Amino acid sequence: MRHYIRKVKALNDMGFINYIKENVINIALIIAIMITGAMITNVNKRINSFVEDRPKYHFYMIAPNLSDPFWQEVKKGADDAAKHYSVAYEFKAPRFNDPEEEKRFLNIAIASEVDGIVTHVPYNEDFTEVINTAADEGIPVVTMENDAAASKRKTFVGVSNFLLGEEAARLVNDATGGRGNVAIIINSAQRDVSSQNIAISGFKSAVAKNYKNISIADIYTSEMGILSAEDIVGRIVRSQPKVNAIYVTDASDTLGVAQAVVDYNKVGEIKIVGYGDSEDILDYINKGVIYGVVMNDPYKMGYNSIKSLVEIKEENNVSAFIDTDLKIITKDDMTYAQ
């Protein structure tokens, strides 16, 4: 034991123990530096990841309502486009159709200085001034479904309304076996809208050129949605018994006409070509009450609206009209017009 103690004392006299002590401190400092470095590296990685994942742009989309499945499908398309192009966007809409509320959302978007706006334009509502304000503030605007061609909007995303009318005429011809006396019902809000007039022009043009045995009995205007459409069907049944087809240009009126045809026991006798793809409309198609519908493709409209804003921001160039194709639904098939 004494020999061991003397040996340790000798080592201590040589400074060995002090050497170990000093190096233990250095090793501890090195370890601390390494841990700190690792922590800093991890933080930097998180910061870089956040920067990389941060959306490139903040867009704003305004729809006419939250209740119609059509606009939920538009939102689904916009969601997928936003994810694909790594952008953020807000989807805003009144609970039910309210043009003034849409305009309020548009002004909010402008005040928020977003990077771009997609907006529905209500029938018979002049959004030109508000859209021009956005454009003057350097915010590009894309219109969808209905256009504001006189404004400074960058592009319109939707369909050729002339083609929509032509395809509706084709469905009426198919439904009636090529021999039809058709009544047309438009919504009062659509009466003076140029896009709607173009659709009716397309319908008339197709009838004149391709369907010689189809005639147009009359064009009616629905004033109060479903109830008014039902009243019109009653008038048609009583005063125009030769009418065997009805072309309806509005989703709510399509439901009203379908219900009236059922109530008057005219299913099969009066063929319906309408607009919209809500659950109730699809149910009427499956039951053979409605022959078919021709409409905008809502998913493509939502997707292409976001896509067009990205192209405007990155390339400063986009077509003035982006055609989303028509969505055609009948009992026997579901297809997209090309």
Residues 292 and 304 in one domain: no
d(CA 302, CA 19): 73
Residues 145 and 166 in one domain: no
pLDDT tens string, the chain, 338 residues long: the values are 555 455 545 545 555 555 555 556 666 666 767 776 666 666 565 545 444 568 899 999 999 888 777 889 999 999 999 999 999 999 999 988 888 999 999 999 999 999 999 999 987 677 999 999 999 999 999 999 888 889 999 999 999 889 999 999 999 999 999 999 999 998 776 544 555 678 899 999 999 999 999 999 999 988 765 668 899 999 999 999 999 999 998 888 999 999 999 999 999 999 999 998 888 999 999 999 999 999 989 999 999 999 999 999 999 888 899 999 899 999 986 444 34
Q: Domain range holding 167?
A: 161-296
Residues 106 and 46 in one domain: no
Residues 140 and 248 in one domain: no
CATH number at residue 219: 3.40.50.2300
The reply to whether 237 falls in a domain is yes
The reply to whether 335 falls in a domain is no
**pLDDT for the residue 49:** 46
Residues 166 and 131 in one domain: no
Residues 244 and 281 in one domain: yes
Residues 62 and 37 in one domain: no
Q: Which residue has the tokens 């990685």?
A: 45
The reply to whether 304 falls in a domain is yes
Residues 122 and 84 in one domain: yes
**pLDDT for the residue 69:** 79
The reply to whether 336 falls in a domain is no
The reply to whether 240 falls in a domain is yes
The reply to whether 166 falls in a domain is yes
Residues 171 and 200 in one domain: yes
Residue 249 CB: number of other CB atoms within 10 A?
25
d(CA 117, CA 131): 9
The reply to whether 332 falls in a domain is no
Q: Identify the domain boundary among 18, 34, 52.
A: 52
**pLDDT for the residue 157:** 96
pTM: 0.73
The answer to whether residues 177 and 213 touch, using CB atoms and an 8 Å cutoff, is no
Total domains in the chain come to 3
The reply to whether 331 falls in a domain is no
